[in-house]
Amino acid sequence: MEILMSITVGVLFMVATYLMLSRSIFRIVMGLVIISHGAHLLILTMGGLQNGMPPLLGQEAANYTDPLPQALILTAIVISFGLTAFVLVLAYRTYDAHKTDDLDQLRGTSDE
Amino acid sequence: MTFLHWAIISPFLLAILIPFFYRYIPKIHTGWFVFILPLALFGYFMQQMLQTTSQGGVVEASAPWVPSLQIFYTVYLDGLSILFALLITGIGALVVLYSIYYLDKKKEALNNFYVYLLMFMGAMLGVIISDNMIVLYVFWELTSLSSALLISYWFQRDKSIYGAQKSMLITVFGGFAMLGGFAILYSITGTFSIQETIASADLVMASNLFIPAMILVLLGAFTKSAQFPFHIWLPDAMEAPTPVSAYLHSATMVKAGLYLVARFTPVFAGVPEWFWIVSGVGLFTLFWGSLSAVRQKDLKGILAFSTISQLGLIMSLLGVGSASLYFNDGVENALYHAAIMTAIFHLINHATFKGSLFMAIGIIDHETGTRDINRLGGLMTIMPVTFTITLIGAASMAGIPPFNGFISKEMFFTGMLEAMEISAWNMQTFGILFPVIAWVASIFTFLYCLILFFKTFTGKFKPENFDKHVHEAPIGMLISPIILVVLVIVFGLFPNLLAYSLIEPAMQSILPGVMTGGERFYVDIYLWHGFELELFMTMGVIALGTLLFIYMKKWSSLAIYKKESDILNPLYDGSLSALVTGSQKITRAQITGRLRDYLAYMSIFIVLLLAYTMFRYDAFSMPTENISPIPGYMWVLVLLFILTTVVVPFINDRMAVIIIVGALGFLVAIFFVAFRAPDLALTQFLIETVVVVLFLLAFKHLPNLKKERTKPRIQVTNAIISVGVGVMVTLIGLSSYAFRQENGLESISQYFIDNSYELAAGENMVNVILVDFRGLDTILEVLVLAIAALGVITLIKLRMTGREDV
Amino acid sequence: MNSLVILPVLLPFLIGAVLILLAKKHQAQRVITSLTVLSMLAASVILAVDVYQNGIATMEMGDWPAPFGIVFVADMFATMMVILSSIVGVVCLFFAFSTISTEREKFYFYPFYLFLLAGVNGAFLTGDLFNMFVFFEVMLLASYVLIVMGGTKYQLRESFKYVVINVFASMLFLIGVAYIYGALGTLNMADMAVRIEETGQTGILNVIAILLLIVFASKGALFPLYFWLPKSYYGPPSAIAALFGGLLTKVGIYAIIRLFTLVFNHDIGFTHNIILALAGFTMFFGVLGAVSQFDFKRILSYHIISQVGYMVMGLGIFTPLALAGAIYYIAHHIIVKSALFLFSGATESITGTTDLKKMGGILKTHPLLAWMFFITAVSLAGIPPLSGFFSKFPLILSGMQEGRYIITAVALLVGLLTLFSMLKIFIYAFWGEQKHTDEQAAKKIGPILLPIVPMVLLTIILGFAAEPIFSYSYGIAEELLEPSIYINSVLGE
């Protein structure tokens, strides 16, 4: 399963990078969202996707899945969410100020 | 810290007080407060000379500064340094006196001037008295700095600024090179002390870094002493007020390079490279400088190139004299001592006659308002004292008896003729060049002396050429140059006054160990040597020089005469502008303004570097242990997920893209469920909902996504980069996982599993980690959210124009 | 003394949060923020002295033992960095009082300022890699807001690029942490060091090391990951630019030095040679950028890039002398760089522009400003006897001693070009004919100059009193090169 998930994460990063290399501000924001999904899934994969029980001690099982990556991912999700919200508003304001979402037109003059 | 340590620092201390004298006692010209110091120091150094160094003694003391870096403030006053110290303080005193009459106390910003001047004086003393190479370097750069500040004194003038920048760049370049050379020497000997390095000279010579060290140190010397091709800063430095030109750019600062060569002779000399480089550069500079001086129409320009040329003369003598260290015993040796002796003697003489000439030219400039030889003329009767001063100074420089310049010129010819006889280093073939170049250069030297003198003082006086009423200078301005020409005469008639007091001890410093057992060099200088070859050479110089002068009208219409500026100047200017343009091109190629380019460059670099590392360490491994099995439904889920992802870049409808990306997020939540992470799934569902709502809100105001009209080449590159990134992420992930399994490392999470209930009283391990074990992370993530929220408010509400603050 | 360790983070965090509620009250905000940063400075000094005398101080959050809980590790290096960030925090704040417009103050300027400092200090003090990630995000997000605050067209455009590149790098940081956890099973840096000692730094660990190097190299603006920097620092006001220019990139450099002395110190033939190569390219391309510009602030921005190259050069050479030079250089650079940005603000307040071609003759109308700038500029170029020389000198010396001639030559050449570009500022803005109006010439800039004075004094003192500073740096270098000291303090014997 880990191998499959690693490949999936790779696909996520591939698509996200492609989106971030685009000219449209909003595709870039989409790319940011996807890349954070990729990172989160990767953390989970690195912890091992064992077939233990969910990390709830009430289950009284022999084997638990690794709780630490889950905690890390939770923190990461929140941080990514904050970032996404901010970037989205930033993108919107940039579009609003410059009236275009094409980054090629937003290069700035070479001396500026 | 001894008195000597303080003596070097004293000018800096006085400099701090100068602005106060200027501000609060404006009635008295600030220069008078400055004058006392060099005078006092001169007295001190005279006393040291008479008591200690002329007997062969040395004053040394050391104080720690940065001992951990072997930087000690060590002072070492021997024959060589006392000579320079006397020059610096003696001529310094005369220059300050001169400046009091030269600079008007109402019109000029005297506080700046004297602060810079004192800074220079202290720094220059530091250079020549330091035994520690790094302290020498510190003072060296301070001289570059203070010199540039003095050149830029009238900083509203473009030419002053240009001159200051040029001098700074060239001399600091040399300074950095010299520092590199010192670092190399340190790595060989383990010490920064010059005396200790001299003692370990064979160690240095044996090292394979010997030549690089030598060249770097010589770069420092050549740049500071304006040797070819680094001489181009000196003519532009003439923008400084004339007292500065007289002090720094003829008598002291430019001699620092000569000092360096002299001081380091015991370390580097005795090898052909040193001989050829030092003499060669010196001779060429001598020639080039004298030839260029003839072309100048500005009196200061003539003197500038003349200084360059004379410095080359002394440099070539130091080069020839280094042969003493090669032929360490034998008759041949005595001949090369003489070259060193001449070098020192001429150094002193040059200071006297050049200093007086600069001051005289300054007087002419001050009283007539011009330095252009085409406008000057006939000042002989109007300014008789200045006339006499210039006559003596120029005659000495031209090498006419009975002045000191004549004697040292003769001895110079002797040195060059002896050089021909050196039985090593290919001199048998090339040796003839030495006296020939020397002779030709001397003809030009004679010529420009004639030009300087006759054009200014003889001929017809045309009052309409001048803006002011021309008259002789006040007596105050004349005292200093008079003293100097008196010295010119005295040293000419009684040269042996200097022999054992100054010259011989200096020779001991430059050629230590040559005279063993406390023996002294034989120094005897006298005016008349008989009808030797040297005398005939001099007569030839006078004859040809005079001829050229008489027929000046014939050749003064030649193109080569019309232009004054050195040929290398366009090279310098061109290099600087090429530097700026080149750097602009390089920078623009990188900082294109396009975000895509930045990300592309970064990603390419990242992928390549990671791939290379992976390949080099054979790091890829497929995990084989502890792989969880893949239930059937997971295949479906994963497939669905991958398809959904891959579709995103191709969607153009904004609603569709939001839905798809939202769907992705929800699929991730389902993954969390499948992988036994209930809290994660909950959070993901929540967050994803909010994100979708946010996007919907934002997209209400936004245009539709268009299919991007990007060049296929760029699209393909983007695709390749993306694939690269994706592949690397996967490969590293697989290998990392494999690594832990192979090495059997236990994760720290076992602690959480074991102790979550016992120590933290919680059954939901993830929650316990979040809130307790790693609570700090959680507080901080809340902070991040808060910042994001406030940031959003700020972004939306605060709209400034950019002119409100700085 | 253990609780002192958390103060540099706790103070700005809590007070910043409280200040959100006081957004409308300028005076109160100013007073409270000043007191906070001053206390932060005092706390950092006391902490540093304590650590210097008594050894590394650690603090386990929640009393959970390392490596399971998060631990703060105040060693000499970290405490020095915290002092520097506090100094810059104080100086830029007081400068901001005279230059920032009240609209910014209304929109939570001071809370963001404090949060940034909290993030920076946390990154310096933490001993846990994921915690460092979170602190980085705090710092970065605060920087995103500060850099775009005001919302001018220029700011929006350039900040968007700044943010995207940084988020990309942050994501790489996150997966780097993931990989480390995947490979080693721990998040605590000392524990990582121990585990790598056991397994050897083989195979994939080198790849992860390089990945983390890349991540911090982009935060630290090393070649070729520096594209986000040059244009973005032009937008925000000078006080902010000074804060960023002095601090932000140094956090990345700190992380590189920490990781490659504590954790990834086993295969220096490879890793540290790459670092050295990056250092050389960074120095070179950075200074070329500075040479190409004709704007005060842009020249300074490119210099930041050039000079982080020197810091990693010391790491690449990896001897105590070299590392001591790097550390000394960090201290010198933080002080001088911030001061220079503040000077650009001062001249902008007089002339209304930072375009060098439109400025001239400030030496005549504001000589004190001109001389203070001159001293600082010359220090940057490495002219003795100021701090720039004594911090570059160990680098040059160790380069020669270790036979790294190319990088030493590059370092010297770059120094010359640095001088050239700083001279350009002086030539255009300070020398020359006066280009600003007489009304502008009469402007009194006392309160603007006053905060910069301590920085100028510091660069002079750090030069003349080089001995104590250098031995302190050398002590830090020795501690860094002996990772067992750190590891034992964290994990116990």
Chains contacting C (3 or more CB pairs within 8 Å) = A, B
Sign of torsion over alpha carbons B665, B670, B671, B675: positive
**Per-residue pLDDT averaged across C105-109, rounded?**
88
Cα angle, residue C324 at apex, residues C323 and C327 outer, rounded to 5°: 85
Domain region containing C9: 2-491
Of C182, C292, C416, the CB nearest to B583: C292
Query: Given an 8 Å threshold on Cβ–Cβ distance, is C99 in contact with B739?
Result: no
Query: Given an 8 Å threshold on Cβ–Cβ distance, is C160 in contact with A25?
Result: yes
Give the pLDDT confidence of B217-232 residue by residue, as tens digits.
999 999 999 998 999 9
Of B600, B627, B785, the CB nearest to A78: B785
Contacts of A108 in chain B (CB under 8 A): 593
Residue B516 confidence (pLDDT)? 66
Q: Which two tokens stand for residue C17?
A: 């949060």
Residue B331 confidence (pLDDT)? 54
Of A46, A79, A106, the CB nearest to C178: A46
DSSP state of C355: B
Query: Given an 8 Å threshold on Cβ–Cβ distance, is B580 in contact with C291?
Result: yes
Query: Given an 8 Å threshold on Cβ–Cβ distance, is B141 in contact with C383?
Result: yes
Mean of all residue pLDDT scores within chain B: 88
Q: Which residues pair with B75 in a beta bridge?
A: B61, B130
Q: Which two tokens stand for residue C485?
A: 């000291």
Q: What whole-number distance in Å separates Cα of residue B267 and Cα of residue B510?
A: 10
Q: Is the pLDDT of residue B703 over 90?
A: no
3-state secondary structure of B59: strand
Residue B369 confidence (pLDDT)? 82
Q: Is the pLDDT of residue C1 over 60?
A: no
Residue B760 confidence (pLDDT)? 80
A residues 92-111 closer than 8 Å to B (CB): 92-93, 95-96, 101, 103-104, 106-108, 110
Query: Given an 8 Å threshold on Cβ–Cβ distance, is A20 in contact with C164?
Result: yes
Q: How confident is the model at residue A110 (pLDDT cuts 50, 70, 90)?
A: low
Of C130, C148, C294, the CB nearest to A72: C130
Q: Which residue has the tokens 């030493």?
A: C408
Question: Does C244 or A65 have the greater pLDDT score?
Answer: C244
Q: Is the pLDDT of residue B688 over 90?
A: yes
3-state secondary structure of A101: coil
Residue B394 lies in a domain: yes
3-state secondary structure of B71: strand
Q: Which two tokens stand for residue C200?
A: 């050897």
Of A20, A24, A88, the CB nearest to B705: A24
Mean of all residue pLDDT scores within chain C: 92
Sign of torsion over alpha carbons C77, C80, C84, C89: positive
Nearest CA to C94 out of C167, C33, C183, C165 is that of C33
Of A45, A46, A98, the CB nearest to C157: A98
Q: Is the pLDDT of residue B315 over 90?
A: yes
**Range with the poorest average pLDDT among B69-73, B425-429, C155-159, C441-445:** B425-429
Q: Which two tokens stand for residue B287?
A: 């020639």
Q: What whole-number distance in Å separates Cα of residue B790 and Cα of residue C112?
A: 9
Query: Given an 8 Å threshold on Cβ–Cβ distance, is A7 in contact with B727?
Result: no
Q: Which residues pair with C73 in a beta bridge?
A: C58
Which residue, of B523, B553, B582, is where some domain finishes?
A: B582
Mention every residue, 6+ apart, whose C-beta is less than 8 A from residue B670: B637, B681
Query: Given an 8 Å threshold on Cβ–Cβ distance, is C400 in contact with B183?
Result: yes
Q: CA nearest C215 in B: which residue?
A: B606
Our CA dihedral for C287, C290, C292, C298, rounded to 10 degrees, sits at 160
Of C151, C160, C171, the CB nearest to A35: C171
Q: Is the pLDDT of residue B275 over 60?
A: yes
Supply the DSSP string of B597-611, one letter for each residue. HHHHHHHHHHHHHHH
Radius of gyration of chain C (CA): 21
Contacts of C179 in chain A (CB under 8 A): 46
**Per-residue pLDDT averaged across B398-416, rounded?**
87
Q: Are A79 and B781 in contact (CB under 8 A)?
A: yes
Q: How confident is the model at residue B314 (pLDDT cuts 50, 70, 90)?
A: very high
Contacts of C408 in chain B (CB under 8 A): 180, 183
Q: Which residues pair with B298 in a beta bridge?
A: B372
Give the pLDDT confidence of C195-217 residue by residue, as tens digits.
998 888 888 899 999 999 999 99
Residue B19 confidence (pLDDT)? 86
Burial track C438-473 (b if 16+ CB lie within 10 A, e otherwise): eebeeeebeebbebbebbbebbbebbeebbebbebb
Query: Given an 8 Å threshold on Cβ–Cβ distance, is A79 in contact with B781?
Result: yes
Q: How confident is the model at residue A52 (pLDDT cuts 50, 70, 90)?
A: confident
B residues 697-716 closer than 8 Å to A (CB): 698-699, 701-703, 705-706, 708, 710
Count of structural domains, chain B: 2
Residue B310 confidence (pLDDT)? 94
Contacts of A94 in chain C (CB under 8 A): 156-157, 160
Cα angle, residue C187 at apex, residues A63 and C6 outer, rounded to 5°: 125
Q: How close does chain B come to A35, measured CA to CA in Å?
A: 11
Q: Which residue has the tokens 């220090």?
A: C379
Q: What whole-number distance in Å separates Cα of residue C161 and Cα of residue A91?
A: 10
Which residue, of B554, B582, B610, is where some domain finishes?
A: B582
Q: Is the pLDDT of residue B625 over 80?
A: no
Contacts of C134 in chain A (CB under 8 A): 75, 79
Supply the DSSP string of B138-193, one letter for each residue. HHHHHHHHHHHHHHTSSTTSHHHHHHHHHHHHHHHHHHHHHHHHHHHHHHHHS--B
How many helices (H) does chain B have, and how many strands (E)? 34, 2
Q: How confident is the model at residue B25 (pLDDT cuts 50, 70, 90)?
A: confident
Residue C284 confidence (pLDDT)? 95
Contacts of C175 in chain B (CB under 8 A): 729, 733
Q: State the complex-level ipTM.
A: 0.94
**Per-residue pLDDT averaged across C153-175, rounded?**
93
**Range with the poorest average pLDDT among A77-81, B459-463, B504-508, C143-147:** B459-463
Our CA dihedral for B318, B324, B326, B329, rounded to 10 degrees, sits at 180
Contacts of C409 in chain B (CB under 8 A): 180
Q: Is the pLDDT of residue B560 over 90?
A: no
Q: Is the pLDDT of residue C307 over 90?
A: yes
Q: Where are the domains of chain A?
A: 2-51+64-105
Q: What are phi and psi of C100, to 5 degrees?
A: -75, 140
Q: What whole-number distance in Å separates Cα of residue B131 and Cα of residue B266?
A: 14
A2-51+64-105 belongs to CATH 2.60.40.2130: no
**Range with the poorest average pLDDT among B3-17, B22-36, B280-294:** B22-36
Question: Does B402 or C337 have the greater pLDDT score?
Answer: C337
Mention every residue, 6+ apart, whose C-beta is less than 8 A from residue C466: B65, B66, B69, B71, C385, C387, C390
Query: Given an 8 Å threshold on Cβ–Cβ distance, is B737 in contact with A46?
Result: yes
Q: How close does chain A come to C267, measured CA to CA in Å?
A: 25
Residue A77 confidence (pLDDT)? 95
Residue B312 lies in a domain: yes
Q: Is the pLDDT of residue A112 over 70?
A: no
Residue B759 confidence (pLDDT)? 84
Q: What whole-number distance in Å separates Cα of residue A70 and Cα of residue A76?
A: 10
Residue C493 confidence (pLDDT)? 54
Domain region containing B280: 269-582
Prior bond of C385 cis (ω within 30°)? yes
Q: What whole-number distance in Å separates Cα of residue B771 and Cα of residue B769?
A: 6
**Per-residue pLDDT averaged across C146-160, rounded?**
90
What count of Cα atoms within 13 Å lies in the side-chain half-sphere of residue B701?
Answer: 15
Question: Does B386 or B763 have the greater pLDDT score?
Answer: B386
Q: CA nearest B614 in C: which residue?
A: C207
Q: Are B525 and B495 in contact (CB under 8 A)?
A: yes
Q: At what angle do helices C76-99 and C7-20 cross, to 10 degrees?
A: 30
Query: Given an 8 Å threshold on Cβ–Cβ distance, is B735 in contact with C204?
Result: yes
Of C68, C160, C434, the CB nearest to B773: C68
Q: At what angle do helices B299-321 and B331-368 cross, to 10 degrees?
A: 170
Query: Given an 8 Å threshold on Cβ–Cβ distance, is A43 in contact with C177?
Result: yes
**Per-residue pLDDT averaged across C147-163, rounded?**
90
Residue B502 confidence (pLDDT)? 85
Radius of gyration of chain A (CA): 19
Contacts of B726 in chain A (CB under 8 A): 10-15, 17
Q: Which residue has the tokens 């005897």?
A: B524
Query: Given an 8 Å threshold on Cβ–Cβ distance, is C138 in contact with B787?
Result: yes
Query: Given an 8 Å threshold on Cβ–Cβ distance, is C137 in contact with B784?
Result: yes
Q: What whole-number distance in Å separates Cα of residue B259 and Cα of residue B127?
A: 9
Residue B225 lies in a domain: no
If residue B75 lies in a helix (H) or strand (E), which one and from where to where? strand B71-77
Chains contacting B (3 or more CB pairs within 8 Å) = A, C
Q: What whole-number distance in Å separates Cα of residue C241 and Cα of residue C96?
A: 11
How many helices (H) does chain A have, and how many strands (E)? 3, 0
- Beta carbons within 10 angstroms of residue B515's beta carbon: 16
Count of structural domains, chain C: 1
Of C154, C163, C179, the CB nearest to A46: C179
Sign of torsion over alpha carbons B133, B138, B140, B141: positive
Mention every residue, 6+ apart, whose C-beta is less than 8 A from residue C350: C362, C365, C366, C369, C436, C440, C441, C443, C445
* Of A38-52, B422-436, B696-710, C307-321, highest mean pLDDT: C307-321
Q: Is the pLDDT of residue C342 over 60?
A: yes
Nearest CA to B556 out of B375, B365, B374 is that of B374
Q: Is the pLDDT of residue B803 over 80?
A: no
Q: How confident is the model at residue C82 (pLDDT cuts 50, 70, 90)?
A: very high
Residue B355 confidence (pLDDT)? 92
Residue B556 confidence (pLDDT)? 74
Query: Given an 8 Å threshold on Cβ–Cβ distance, is C137 in contact with A79?
Result: yes
Q: Is the pLDDT of residue C271 over 80?
A: yes
Give the pLDDT confidence of B639-679 residue by residue, as tens digits.
999 999 999 888 888 888 889 999 999 999 999 998 888 88
Supply the DSSP string of B353-399, one letter for each residue. HHHHHHHHHHHHHHHHS--BTTT----TTTSHHHHHHHHHHHHHHHT
Residue B346 confidence (pLDDT)? 93
Q: CA nearest B652 in A: which residue?
A: A27
Q: How confident is the model at residue C250 (pLDDT cuts 50, 70, 90)?
A: very high
Our CA dihedral for B208, B211, B214, B218, rounded to 10 degrees, sits at -160
Residue B280 lies in a domain: yes
Contacts of C160 in chain B (CB under 8 A): 595
Q: Is the pLDDT of residue C375 over 90?
A: yes
Of A6, A34, A54, the CB nearest to B677: A54
Q: What whole-number distance in Å separates Cα of residue B96 and Cα of residue B39?
A: 10
Q: Give residue B691's Cα distance to chain centre.
A: 58
Of A76, A90, A111, the CB nearest to C148: A90
Q: How close does chain A come to C334, measured CA to CA in Å?
A: 26
Share of chain C above pLDDT 90, in %: 75
Q: How confident is the model at residue B517 (pLDDT cuts 50, 70, 90)?
A: low
Supply the DSSP string of B753-768, one letter for each residue. HHHTTTTT--SBHHHH
A residues 29-68 closer than 8 Å to C (CB): 32, 35-36, 38-39, 42-43, 45-47, 68
Q: Tell me, yes or no, if B638 comes closer than 8 A to chain A by beta carbon.
A: yes
Residue B781 lies in a domain: yes
Residue B330 confidence (pLDDT)? 55
Chain C residues bordering chain A (beta-carbon distance below 8 Å): 130, 134, 137, 141, 144-145, 148, 151, 153-154, 156-160, 163-164, 167-168, 170-171, 174-175, 177-179, 181-182, 187, 231, 294
Model-wide pTM > 0.80: yes
Q: Tell me, yes or no, if A61 comes closer than 8 A to chain B by beta carbon.
A: no
- Beta carbons within 10 angstroms of residue C335's beta carbon: 25
Q: How confident is the model at residue B278 (pLDDT cuts 50, 70, 90)?
A: very high
Mention every residue, 6+ apart, whose C-beta is less than 8 A from residue C76: C48, C51, C52, C56, C472, C475, C476, C479
Residue B92 confidence (pLDDT)? 93
